[in-house]
Chains A and B, each alone.
Chain A
Amino acid sequence: MAGPVHQRDPEDAVLFAPVLGTTRRFWLGATPLLAMTLWGMYAYTLQLRYGLGVTGLNRPVAWGIYIINFVFFIGISHAGTLISAILRLCKAEWRRPITRAAEAITVLVLFFGLGSIIMDLGRPDRLFYVLQYGRLQSPLLWDVTSITTYLTGSALYLYLPLIPDLALVRDRATGWRRTLYTFLALGWRGTPGQHRRLERGIAVMAVMVIPIAVSVHTVVSWVFSMTLQPMWKSTIFGPYFVTGAIFSGIAALIISMAAVRRAYHLENYLKPVHFNSLSLLLLVMSLLWFYFTFAEHLTAYYGGELGEAMVLFAKVTGRWAPAFWAMAVLNFVIPVAILANGRTRTVAGSVVASASVVVGMWLERYLIVVPTLANPRLPYERGFYAPSWVEVSITAGAVSFFVLLYMVFTKLFPIISIWEVREGREGLVTAQERMVGYLPGPVAPVTPVTPAGRR
Chain B
Amino acid sequence: MARWGMVIDLDRCTGCQACVVACKAENNVPVVPPEQARERRLMLWMEVIPEVEGEYPNVRARFIPRPCQQCDHAPCVKVCPVQALSTSPEGIVSRVFARCIGCRFCVQACPYGVIQFNWRAPLWPGDLYEALDPDIAVRPTGVAESCDFCRHRFQRAREQARAEGREIRGEGDYVPACVQACPALALVFGDLDDPKTEAARLARGPRAYRMLEDLGTAPKVFYLKEG
Contacts and interface: CB of A to CB of B under 8 A. Distances in A.
A51 B112 contact: no
A377 B79 CA distance: 19
A378 B113 contact: yes
A363 to B, nearest CB: 20
Contact of B81 (A123, A141, A228, A378): A141
Contact of B142 (A52, A59, A60, A378): A52
Interface string A5-37: 000000000000000000000000000000000
A381 interface: yes
Interface in B182-223: 211-212, 215, 217
A138 B41 contact: no
B101 A123 contact: yes
Contact of A135 (B81, B120, B144): B81
B120 A229 contact: no
A295 interface: no
A58 B109 contact: no
Contacts of A228: 75, 109, 111, 215, 217
Interface residues of B, number: 44
Contact of B212 (A51, A132, A378): A378
B81 A140 contact: yes
A140 B79 CA distance: 7
A63 interface: yes
Contacts of B40: 58-59, 383
A137 interface: yes
Contact of A53 (B75, B103, B119): B119
A227 B75 contact: yes
Interface string B23-59: 0000000000000100111100000010100000000
A52 B117 contact: yes
Contact of B99 (A129, A223, A227): A129
Contacts of B102: 52, 121-124, 126
A211 B163 CA distance: 59
B85 to A, nearest CB: 10
Interface string B74-97: 010011111100000000000000
Given A129-B99, A135-B81, A59 B36 contact: no
Nearest to A372: B108
B82 A121 contact: no
Given A63-B104, A122-B103, A139-B79, A57 B119 contact: yes
A60 B105 contact: no
Contacts of B61: none
Contacts of B117: 52, 59, 62, 122
Contact of B141 (A51, A63, A229, A381): A51
B118 interface: yes
Contacts of B19: none
Nearest to B212: A377
B21 interface: no
Interface centre among A52, A60, A377 (most CB of B within 10 A): A52
A117 B101 CA distance: 11
A134 interface: yes
A376 interface: yes
Given A122-B101, A122-B102, A130-B101, A58 B39 contact: yes
B84 to A, nearest CB: 8
Contacts of A120: 103-104
Given A52-B119, A59-B41, A135 B108 contact: no
A227 B108 contact: yes
A376 B41 CA distance: 16
Interface string A342-375: 0000000000000000000000000000000100
Contact of A122 (B36, B82, B143): B143
B100 interface: yes
A161 B140 CA distance: 48
Contacts of B80: 135, 138
Interface string A127-152: 10110111101111100100000000
A121 B105 contact: no
B178 interface: no
Given A51-B118, A60-B113, A139-B79, A129 B101 contact: yes
Contacts of A380: 49, 51, 64, 66, 113
A53 B120 contact: yes
Contacts of B83: 133, 135
A50 interface: yes
A129 B66 CA distance: 31
29 contacts: A53-B36, A53-B119, A53-B141, A55-B119, A58-B39, A59-B40, A59-B41, A59-B113, A121-B103, A122-B100, A122-B117, A122-B141, A122-B144, A123-B142, A124-B101, A124-B102, A130-B82, A133-B82, A133-B83, A135-B80, A138-B80, A144-B81, A227-B109, A228-B75, A228-B109, A376-B111, A377-B215, A378-B111, A380-B49
Given A58-B40, A137-B78, A378-B211, 11 more contacts: A51-B121, A62-B117, A63-B108, A122-B117, A122-B141, A126-B82, A127-B101, A129-B101, A134-B82, A135-B81, A380-B113
Interface of B: 36, 39-42, 49, 51, 64, 66, 75, 78-83, 99-105, 107-109, 111-113, 116-121, 140-144, 211-212, 215, 217
8 closest residue pairs by CB, A with B:
A122-B102, A122-B142, A53-B120, A51-B141, A58-B40, A140-B81, A53-B119, A138-B81
